Amino acid sequence: MYELNKKLRKIVGYDPAAGTSKIILDANESPFNALDSFRDEIMTAVGNLKLNRYPDPYATEVVTAFAKFYGLDEKYVTAGNGSDELISIIISCFLQKGDKILTLSPDFSMYAFYSKLYETNVTIMPKDEIYNTFSVGKIIEQCNNNDIKAVIFSNPCNPTSLGIKREEIIRLIKNVFCLVVIDEAYMDFWDQSILQEIEDFDNVIVLKTLSKAFGAAGIRLGFAVSNEVVTGALRAAKSPYNTDLFSQEIGRIILSHPDEAAKNIAYIKASRERLQEELTELSRIYPCLDKVYDSQTNFVFIKTSKGLAIYEKLLERGISIRYMGIYIRITAGTREENEELLTALREILKELCDTD
């Protein structure tokens, strides 16, 4: 009888967001569908695709559009089937079985997931429980004293919504010998990217995605930015046709309209700021919202002992947020969506929590 191997017998897949609620604020997506902005252009491009032919293995046109958008040279860019695929390629190829990799907690769960799947030796460093930050000095020490081959984290962080400043990130990169993978999925909402400095470093990969700020999680397009040697290895190691014709075409169109991106990002930032202020105000009234964190992202992270009840009661009202044990995470939606959420939340908190 065939038996799954040990690692597959134990495997727990990623728990994806439900996606059926009227108001979806659980996966940090954009409230704006990129198709609404570029419908004609996308329809025309899709109408001319040669589906019988393999797509460009290096996704040259979308890579060029991405490089232009961020002011980079395209020789530093690799396209992936979502940054998720790139995380998987990086961990499976830049580490060998048993190599040590350092991740943090809380952080994006896929780093530890792939690290375990590929049989690396993963250390998960807990963040400070109240402030949810980490010290770059401690990471440097860990990397250099424990023969760590790679460290990977998101900046700004999902789920904590907090970011580490550019100087500190550069201090980390310069003081370790290992590979440093910085997932900048949310950096479009902050201004501390190290993308511009990429050619100065031989041990860095920065990850980007169209899934959060660009309203295109559905096409699965992510990018890795690294120096030429690392980029050469990434391009050689990935599967040849990892991004399909549709994502290449649609991604190229989205990235060719920086004004539209800037407009949406500005809206989302304002929406998140307002949501965060309102939630902070609620936390002053209801102590069961222990702490509303600062945010450099498009979502708000909250420490609360009533997370599960809040999550369930919002779901009953057609609003989905992310429940994560002692925390909840709420994506900023449109102004109208935020208002509905806040109205529901006020009722729920009145029921669940004693006021001060």
Ligand X SMILES: *Cc1c(COP(=O)(O)O)cnc(C)c1O
Instruction: Give φ, ψ of 322 to 5 degrees.
Output: -100, 130
- Write down the least CB distance from residue 139 to ligand X, Å: 17
- Write down the least CB distance from residue 84 to ligand X, Å: 3
Could you tell me which residues come within 8 angstroms of residue 59 by beta carbon, excluding any fewer than 6 positions away? Answer: 79, 243, 248, 251
Residue number with CB closer to ligand X (85 or 340): 85
Neighbours of 238 (CB within 10 A): 22
Is residue 123 a contact partner of residue 107, using CB atoms and an 8 Å limit? Answer: no
78 binds ligand X (CB under 6 A): no
Number of shown-chain residues binding ligand X (CB under 6 A): 14
Neighbours of 290 (CB within 10 A): 15
103 binds ligand X (CB under 6 A): no
Q: Which stretch binds ligand X (CB under 6 A): 205-213, 237-245, 261-269, 318-326?
A: 205-213
132 binds ligand X (CB under 6 A): no
- Using CB under 6 A, pick the residue from 30, 158, 193, 304 that binds ligand X: 158
111 binds ligand X (CB under 6 A): no
Q: In whole angstroms, what is the distance from residue 344 CA to residue 349 CA?
A: 9
222 binds ligand X (CB under 6 A): yes
Q: In whole angstroms, what is the distance from residue 226 CA to residue 18 CA?
A: 34
88 binds ligand X (CB under 6 A): no
Is residue 193 a contact partner of residue 166, using CB atoms and an 8 Å limit? Answer: yes
Single-letter code of the amino acid located at 142: Q
- Write down the least CB distance from residue 301 to ligand X, Å: 12
Residue number with CB closer to ligand X (108 or 293): 108
- Write down the least CB distance from residue 28 to ligand X, Å: 6
108 binds ligand X (CB under 6 A): yes
| Residue 239 Cα distances to 29, 39, 76, 176, 204, angstroms | 27, 30, 18, 30, 21
Residue number with CB closer to ligand X (222 or 307): 222
Chain residues binding ligand X by CB under 6 A are 28, 82-84, 108, 154, 158, 183, 185, 209, 211-212, 217, 222
